[in-house]
Amino acid sequence: MADPNHPPENPYAAAQVDLVPAQTSAGSEGDVTGGVIPYKNPCALAAYYLGLLAWIPACGSPFAIASIWLGIVGLKKRRINPAIRGSAHAIFGIVAGVVGLVLTMVILAAILVRVNQ
C-alpha cells in the first residue's frame, strides 16, 4: 500500500540540480564576476583601461602616466588586503602604461627628427 505522506518516485523524472553553487571557502566571491573584474579595487581596474588608452599615439602620455600610478596604487591596495584582488589588472596597467609612454616618446622623437631634416 502506498504511503500518502511519501508519493511514489517517478523513474522518468529528471534529477534536481542545485542552481546556486556553494562557496568553496569563506573568502571567495559570491558572484560570477568577482574573480574576473576587480570591482573592489577600482585603482587596478582604472589602470587596466588607462593602460589600453595609453597606446593612442596622439594623447597617450597622460593616460600612460596615470596608468602606471594607478597600477602601483592598486598593487599596494592588493598587498594590504588580498581579498580585493586585481593584481593582474594592476600589473597589466603598469606594463601597458610603460609601453605606451615609450611608444609616445619614440613617435615624438621620430617627428622631431623628421621636422629637423
Q: What is the DSSP string of 11-74?
A: TTSPPP---SPPPSSTTS-SSGGGGTS-TT-HHHHHHHHHHHHTT-TTTHHHHHHHHHHHHHHH
Q: Tell me, what's the pLDDT at 14?
A: 61
Burial of 115 (0-12, 13-18, 19+ CB in 10 A): exposed
- Read off the pLDDT of each residue in 21-25 and give the average, rounded to a whole number: 51
- Read off the pLDDT of each residue in 42-55 and give the average, rounded to a whole number: 92
* More confident site: 73 or 15: 73
Write down the mean pLDDT value for the chain.
81
